């Protein structure tokens, strides 16, 4: 656990070398990246936090779990890590008195909400972040509900309805009992589903899961998140850092229209497709393909 802004965030760390930060979305955790991290190439340090209020991280009562609050906690976490000095042998206590930036040249990888958070961190830390890889997440605000995935439109409208969303997420645990299992194209087995569900035993533990669908910027609302995603997308459109967009046929968020927008507006972009069957949760549905594509691209950055 890492102390961050008066609370604590869980951080999974593997390896030594150039840092790569893995950001999950809703309703997953750092566990999403287990296959990708297991395929780590030599010379890389993998850092995979659980977002505040999710996974094994703390659940501060005073947070609304807005996009901005998540970004602020990640920014503070990166600031803490950047002050470390990693021992050459990979063991022992890191010396926080040394000024070497432990996150120099960090690459950020994001899925789902981790995509927008990765781009926001790039906007906040342009001198520190050297590359970004994203998959199946919103890159910019949606102009209206007509731009939302038709298969999930009615459901997410319900999740954003006061009272209805509370019942569905907090009481019925719809994300982990129904939506995650139904969205997976490859049967993960009961043990994997239990790993995802175990941090959320009761309604109080699921508040961040409820906030996320209400944070999607649609038709300008919520205004703060709309402004944040718009600013992050605009910065990405002029940022010279290498970018990777991992796609798969038929995914609900990164559609052919989104891919076309990215290829026209994001400089230094590589688009890499993994085969189907694959739905929203690419690291679960195609773990080997995602692992291979990502690490092969990362190796081109060295």
Q: Assess whether pLDDT exceeds 60 at residue 178.
A: yes
Catalytic residue, candidates 69, 86, 280, 285: 280
Catalytic residue, candidates 80, 120, 136, 285: 136
Mean pLDDT along residues 192-201 = 98
pLDDT for residue 100: 61
pLDDT for residue 98: 37
pLDDT for residue 210: 99
Q: Please tell me the pTM assigned to this model.
A: 0.94
Catalytic residue, candidates 50, 86, 112, 284: 112
Tokens of 122: 């790039």
pLDDT for residue 85: 57
Q: Assess whether pLDDT exceeds 80 at residue 90.
A: no
CA distance 77 to 4: 6
Q: Assess whether pLDDT exceeds 50 at residue 278.
A: yes
Q: Which domains does the chain have, with CATH numbers?
A: 2-300 (3.40.50.1820)
- The 3-class SS string of the chain reads CEEECCEEECEEEECCCEEEEEECCCCCCHHHHHHHHHCCCCCEEEEEECCCCCCCCCCCCCCCCCHHHHHHHHHHHHHHHHCCCCCCCCCCCCCCCCCCCCCCCEEEEEECHHHHHHHHHHHHCCCCEEEEEEECCCCCCECCHHHCCCCCHHHHHHHCCCCHHHHHHHHCCHHHHHHHHHHCCCCCCHHHHHHHHCCCCCHHHHHHHHHHHHHCCECCECHHHHHHHHHHHHHHCCCCCCEEEEECCCCCCCCHHHHHHHHHHCCCEEEEECCCCCCCCHHHHCHHHHHHHHHHHHHHCC
Task: State pLDDT tens for residues 263-272.
Answer: 999 999 999 9
Does the annotation count 280 as an active-site position?
Answer: yes
């Amino acid at each position: 656990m890492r102390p961050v802004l008066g609370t604590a965030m869980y951080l999974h760390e593997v390896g030594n070398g150039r840092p790569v930060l893995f950001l999950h979305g809703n309703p997953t955790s750092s566990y999403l990246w287990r296959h990708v991290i297991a395929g780590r190439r030599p010379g890389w340090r993998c850092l995979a936090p659980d977002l505040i209020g999710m996974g094994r991280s703390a659940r501060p009562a005073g947070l609304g779990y807005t996009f901005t609050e998540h970004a602020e906690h990640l920014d503070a976490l990166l600031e803490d890590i950047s002050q470390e000095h990693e021992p050459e042998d990979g063991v022992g206590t890191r010396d926080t008195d040394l000024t070497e930036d432990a996150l120099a040249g960090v690459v950020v990888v994001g899925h789902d909400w981790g995509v927008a958070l990765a781009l926001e961190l790039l906007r906040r830390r342009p001198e520190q972040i050297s590359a970004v890889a994203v998959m199946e997440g919103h890159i910019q605000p949606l102009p209206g509900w007509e731009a939302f995935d038709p298969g999930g439109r009615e459901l997410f409208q319900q999740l954003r309805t006061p009272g209805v969303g509370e019942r569905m997420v907090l009481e019925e645990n719809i994300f982990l009992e129904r939506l995650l299992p139904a969205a997976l194209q490859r049967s993960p087995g009961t043990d994997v589903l239990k790993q995802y569900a175990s941090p959320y035993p009761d309604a109080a533990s699921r508040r961040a899961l409820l906030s996320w669908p209400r944070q999607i910027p649609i038709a300008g609302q919520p205004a703060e998140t709309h402004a944040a995603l718009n600013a992050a997308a605009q910065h990405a459109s002029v940022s010279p850092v290498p970018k990777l967009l991992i796609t798969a046929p038929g995914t609900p968020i990164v559609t052919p229209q989104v891919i076309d927008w990215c290829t026209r507006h994001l400089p230094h972009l590589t688009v890499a497709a993994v085969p189907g069957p694959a739905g929203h949760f690419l690291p679960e549905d195609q773990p080997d393909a995602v692992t291979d594509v990502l690490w092969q691209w990362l190796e081109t950055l060295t």
